[in-house]
A and B are shown apart, each in its own frame.
Chain A
Amino acid sequence: MSHVDLGLAIDNAVLVAVGYAVLYALGIVELRLGSLVFVGLAYLVGWACIGVLLTLALLAGIDPGIPTFLVIAGAIIVCSGLYRARRPGSTFTPREHAPRSRRASLLAALPAVLGATMLAIGSLAALSVAVKGQLYAGYLDSFDFWIPKAETIYYAHGIDPDVWATIRHPEYPPLVAVMDALTFRLVGGFHPSVLPFQATLLGIAFLMAVLALVDRFAPRWISLPSLALLATTPWFWARLQASLTDQMLAYLIAAAAIAGVIWLYERSEAFLVLAFVLLAAATLTKLEGGFMAGLLALVVASAGIVLYRHAAAWALVLLAAPAVALPWRLWLHHHGLPTTSPDYHATDLLNRGFLSERWGRLTGSFHALYEGLITAQLQTSVIIWISVAALLILALRLPVIAGAVAAWFVLSLLGLTIVYWIGRLTLSWYLTTSLSRVGTTVIIVGGTLTPLFLGLALRPRRAR
């Protein structure tokens, strides 16, 4: 085994261990073989926890290298074990198997097997391409600023504000750069070709995480075809290995949305904590992450209060998740770097003349949004239409939850459109570059919530 292989193995094994420890502390998994199905969720949660804490360590002036990584991981594992020992309660509920006839079982097995096969093909194909490492430089932004940011953290054993200022978009938060720099440390050098493999693992972990999260609510003949379609949709599959943060942001927001909906449905605090961790990581992943995470926290907390009144008041803690960006903003401000994107100014929204002058950009953005979501590609439009149908079905059963999710979709898309409206860059750049990347978060959230919505709608009504 080479140094690189060993480094990657340690990195990924520790992330899984940390994730399992957190899930164990939350009572979402038990120490038994059946919990292996949560390996994807464990990886995603481990990545999010380590990412947030290493980023905060970096901002505190601590080298986010191997010793810090191992100390943080060890602390999380020990604290999780101690916490669970004191509070042995569990929210783990095995899958419910509705009694079915033999014929119905066979019929249900067909889409499940087909979906699982497609998902396996998509995942194996992505890994097969990723191990060659050739796609790390597939996007200009990767070698323009994402990888150089990781590289400077790796070489400087921290964050050198003078070098950081010379890299484009210094205002973007550094979580992914910190995690990539950690990978370089573990593999023993600046080897950008290992990044596609790590990115692909995270993507596959996300798909497995969604399956694990919705498994208690949706039968696999519903969830597996949905995930198979998402996984093999060309833009999703191609970006599994990209060293861009947009898809990682989408994973975190989508998993947080699922955790948020589960909390709204069954009010198990474990899922609120899970949503908090994922939203905090999303906030530190990209500038847009703060907006989308804040919006999600707001709609979930609001729906919780509508549904459960005072009993859900502490869901407002979710709103603190995006506040994890504050140390980052303070660090930027302290070093005289821009804290917001220079591409647009929110104050322009108050300038009526400026807005009316650019009315064409707003209508153009809406038109592009419609085209991008509905007409551009068969797979994307299938994901969108089925998500919308599932949301409408859910609205008949659980209107508050459906309303909250719908509000998040509408406000997220509206937020993007407003940025394109007031943005200083050309509209065509926004539509060809930004929309096709940031906009995918909305599609991924929709695609992964679909099986949960259908599963919840199919569940027997319960007294509330």
Chain B
Amino acid sequence: MSVSLRGSVAIVGLGETAVGSLPDNGSTEICAEAARLALRDAGLGKHQVDGLITCNPWVEPHLYHAEMFSEYMQIFPRFCMTLNAGGATSLTAVLRAASAIMTGVCETVLITHGDNPRTGMSPKETGQKMTTTMNPQFELPYGIGLTNGYAMAARAHSHKYGTTEEQRAQVAVSARKHACLNPAAEMNKPLTISDVLNSPLVADPLHALDCSLWSDGGAALVVVAAERAKDFPNKPVYFLGCGEGHWHEHLFQSRSLTSTAASESGPRAFEMAGLKPEDMDFAEIYDCFTNVAIVELEDLGFCAKGEGGAFVENGNIELGGSLPINTHGGLLAHSHTGHPGSMFAITEGVTQLRGDGDARQVADAEVGLIHGQGGVLSSHATLILGTEASL
């Protein structure tokens, strides 16, 4: 027997810390600040939280992170878990929150993720921690950088489908354009395609400006049953669908270099929501590198396979285009806080559906898609959110 989660829960609180360099904060403090802001936004006291989902940060990891955090906050939940699917973590957290609420395990879930990899680790420590994600016998001994994995996927995509470096650069240029409209984003100066192409090759064919930021920051959400959604001060945003796909951990074991498990997570989310890609008013997708956004647009069904490069051209992915993506600036221009990175994609989606996007508001936004990717094109999770009118 299965019960559809469509429309079952709603996001009624969100909190975002500042992003960028936060040298006076540890990762636990950032996580706490995001949680405080989300509970304040929802008008909730801490004793009303009975579910807690965290993710392990790079800085200050704990074997039992969620339990540590409940102790830190003196919250005593009956549903408590630490998740780890890299950049897909935050999306998988929303699905687990919905599942826990709808099975009666708990009623009010706080999802809070924060980290400070930019100021909390030296470049050397960052390098060392990154290598812990590699297979110790079959990857690490080659001394290959993490970015080279994404670069090999980018090159294979170009070879198979003719995707150009200008098209990849366009993803960064469009993200920057949106970030310039968002005072909370780290980057606030416009970028051109030639800026991207003239930036150093860090892992050919990827240039430095094809790569996302590396930031401190965190964000949090409060999730409750849809029937309670109107008891809170802000406009509720409803869960319409979610799907996941997990193909590998290490890139060399992937079923493909040019397609991802987004081709499974997307259709699963659309099926649950009863919607199609063309119904989406916007999408906040994972853009850790420019080529990743292009392959996700294809795999999620926004364009035919192989046509992602052409899809990002001519303002199509910008505000006013057919599918504005990463309206906050994305990982390329808002922030990339490590595992919590996708939280800002979700909070941006909620902000858009509340109609609070100010200068970057998507007109008449009723439904939006959020997608996260973890590992090296490994774990994929897709979430579809909507306003009350979309239910």
**A, B in one complex:** no
